[in-house]
């Protein structure tokens, strides 16, 4: 079994109202990543990603651009503690 890695992301820019959360959920499902994504009151999108290092890395790279209509000005990435999520959800 692969070691589980976790990362916390905060995306800023034009990231709300452009299906960022839904597309992140779909990419996570495709890559086998669990966790969650949510809109924050300050206009950013925050996510917690868990899974094998390669899959989490691919999702982090995808989030640097986001979906077609998003404009990501900054993506802050930090280590997180795995929490054992069974799926990826929108909060």
Which of 7, 21, 23, 25 is an active site residue?
21
Which of 7, 26, 38, 39 is an active site residue?
39
Active site residue 21: yes
DSSP-assigned beta bridge partners for residue 39? 45
Q: What angle do CA 45, 46, 52 make, to 5 degrees?
A: 125
CA distances from 33 to 9, 10, 66, 79 (A): 14, 17, 16, 15
- The three-state secondary structure class of 58 is helix
Active site residue 39: yes
Q: Would you please indicate which residues are annotated as catalytic (active-site) residues?
A: 21, 39
């Amino acid at each position: 079994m692969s070691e589980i890695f976790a990362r916390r992301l905060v995306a800023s820019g034009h990231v709300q109202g452009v299906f960022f959360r839904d597309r992140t959920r779909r990419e996570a499902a495709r890559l086998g990543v669990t966790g969650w994504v949510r809109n924050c009151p300050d206009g950013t999108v925050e996510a917690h990603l868990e899974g094998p290092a390669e899959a989490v890395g691919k999702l982090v790279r995808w989030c640097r651009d986001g979906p077609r209509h998003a404009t990501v000005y900054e993506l802050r990435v930090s280590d997180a503690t795995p929490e054992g999520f069974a799926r990826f959800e929108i909060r």
